[in-house]
Chain A
């Protein structure tokens, strides 16, 4: 697994990803069957690989009964059934799943196989058993195709609320003989996680998986990527849409209109220096020039952003700008293999963001995307994580 930013598809961003890879942004792509037919997935996969990216596909069994016209075009469709039916599936039927996985991963030329799995939930030993069986099938396919197999470890909210539940499930999950981890952690927040305790549990879960010595891909990360890298992630998957910024199962059900969506909200500016915070056009316009200059981070997609009239900026340019900035920063952060150094890198950015946010607020402007609501929690969780999990970091350094 290559270190750095991976592009998480799933919200009509295939062309955007292609463009970012052409600019050298990103080391891998995770295809999604949610918004891309099987045939088109094969075409895009080849295009991405031609640009030097690793390519894999997340078949998304988190909500195994979910169907739409795209997902139904995949050979695994007949296994998209209820959890209870999946739990009763026999070994003969699983053989069919094996053939489907071979077909899909072989056709897209996957460089790694993400094992299908259901969300781990507290008290559901049946799901642990089912995930283990699904993994065994996937691992055999991965071996046959000669590619690494990543075990999907998606921790549901019933588990992520307590450290003991997390440890118990991770103890079971890490018994799987995989080549890496595809990790997700269900938070309780709408857009960006900001609960200190949740963040610390999330960080420790990541660090624990990293301590197995196997690479960890944080599957739905977004701006939280800088935090994830500080807790030992090898790669983080990002997407332009907030649906892809954290693992929240309900959002898979959102119907894609094919025409964009999101109402008529103006495009917003993602600022590297205010990490995680969006600035609306009218806010940009109101800022004193010196603060506006510090807030702006130029990218190939921000050229049309006119400080005199920022309303001319297109929404897709705003999306591309966001991905470009996150990718650029994470790829810089990923240059350091030592997670402690990655954590310090994140702390530097967050400290600067908090300071700039304070200055903006002192100028009399309160940003709608409340700056203070998460950066300080992220920062504190990183500081405390470095101190409390010192031995985990030490152990990781022994493995490097």
Chain B
């Protein structure tokens, strides 16, 4: 159930902003495209009252430590307490463009020349996360914005985890949070010790497949959690997909490595993938 704040109520809470439009809310946050008095477009996120504040502060910590063109920039985090209402809210840069989800049209794969620079930038952003020991844990097309210049920006760090800090979730939940369609095998079956940077690589591997092939690698079972789990953990049927096999061999290889069941068999890190994509190009 998304956390919805009517735009008029939001206006009254934040009179300093011009509210341009509501953005897609999540369970934890209502979001608005706003403009400040200097004319700068921003994304205002109002945090649901029942949201885990420890988790929110982790997210803030994660974002504050990052400065990368392919990662959304945090501008302000504020706790507002008024006589009848207490609210946490976050202001991020507003990313012009649309969600990557809108650019993935079933049956219409991207051209390699188009995909190569996009994914090099995306993996570069992912590498910045890795350098800070951050795992996003919920990478999916809805959490990647595509700017008008076709560059990607990773957003929504609500489930991000700093690997050097203790997890806020229980062992099993620590693995199985996020969006199942982009889960790595260890998220379905493992525990939080198994979640690391390579879990994010798997998710982006799934997105890369979807973009270049025109459908999800496990599209036939995506609506059933148990069937999806079984396929993600055990099936390599996607390697025989009729469109996948027409991709250049080096692209097939990098995608199949990203989608390996065992973390150790995936690329070591996003930086390695960037190097390879730069080499094989479109």
Residues on A lying within 8 angstroms of B by beta carbon are 125, 128, 167-168, 170-175, 208, 211-214, 391, 394-395, 398-399
Contacts and interface: CB of A to CB of B under 8 A. Distances in A.
A272 B249 CA distance: 39
A263 to B, nearest CB: 43
Contact of B253 (A173, A214, A394): A394
B253 A398 contact: yes
Given A167-B265, A398-B276, A398-B279, A175 B196 contact: yes
Contacts of B256: 391
Given A125-B193, A173-B264, 4 more contacts: A167-B265, A171-B198, A172-B193, A391-B253
A173 B193 CA distance: 12
Interface of B: 193-194, 196-198, 249-250, 253-254, 256-257, 262-265, 268, 272, 275-276, 279-280
A173 B253 CA distance: 24
27 contacts: A125-B193, A128-B193, A167-B265, A170-B264, A171-B194, A171-B263, A172-B193, A173-B264, A174-B263, A174-B264, A174-B268, A175-B263, A208-B264, A208-B265, A211-B268, A212-B268, A213-B268, A213-B272, A391-B256, A391-B257, A394-B249, A395-B253, A398-B276, A398-B279, A398-B280, A399-B275, A399-B276
Contacts of B198: 171
B138 to A, nearest CB: 20
A399 B265 contact: no
A170 B253 CA distance: 21
A174 B254 CA distance: 19
Contacts of B279: 398
Contacts of A170: 264
A232 to B, nearest CB: 14
B264 A398 contact: no
Nearest to A170: B264
A213 B194 CA distance: 21
Main secondary structure of the interface of A (DSSP, over half): helix
B262 A167 contact: yes
A399 B264 contact: no
Among B198, B254, B263, B264, max chain A CB count under 10 A is at B264
Nearest to B277: A398
A208 B268 CA distance: 10
A170 B264 CA distance: 6
A211 B265 CA distance: 8
B250 A398 contact: yes
Contacts of B268: 174, 211-214
Which A-B residue pairs are the 8 nearest by beta carbons?
Answer: A171-B264, A171-B263, A170-B264, A212-B268, A167-B262, A398-B276, A175-B196, A174-B264
B262 A171 contact: yes
Contacts of B194: 171
Contacts of B254: 398
A212 B271 CA distance: 11
B70 to A, nearest CB: 22
Contacts of B257: 391, 395
A171 B250 CA distance: 24
Contacts of B275: 399
Contacts of B276: 398-399
Contacts of A172: 193
A48 B197 CA distance: 39
A394 B255 CA distance: 13
Nearest to B276: A398
Nearest to B268: A212
A351 to B, nearest CB: 30
A208 B193 CA distance: 20
B6 to A, nearest CB: 45
A399 to B, nearest CB: 7
A391 B279 CA distance: 17
B87 to A, nearest CB: 38
Nearest to A400: B279
A171 B276 CA distance: 21
- Which of B197, B268, B275 is packed against the most chain A CB atoms within 10 Å? B268
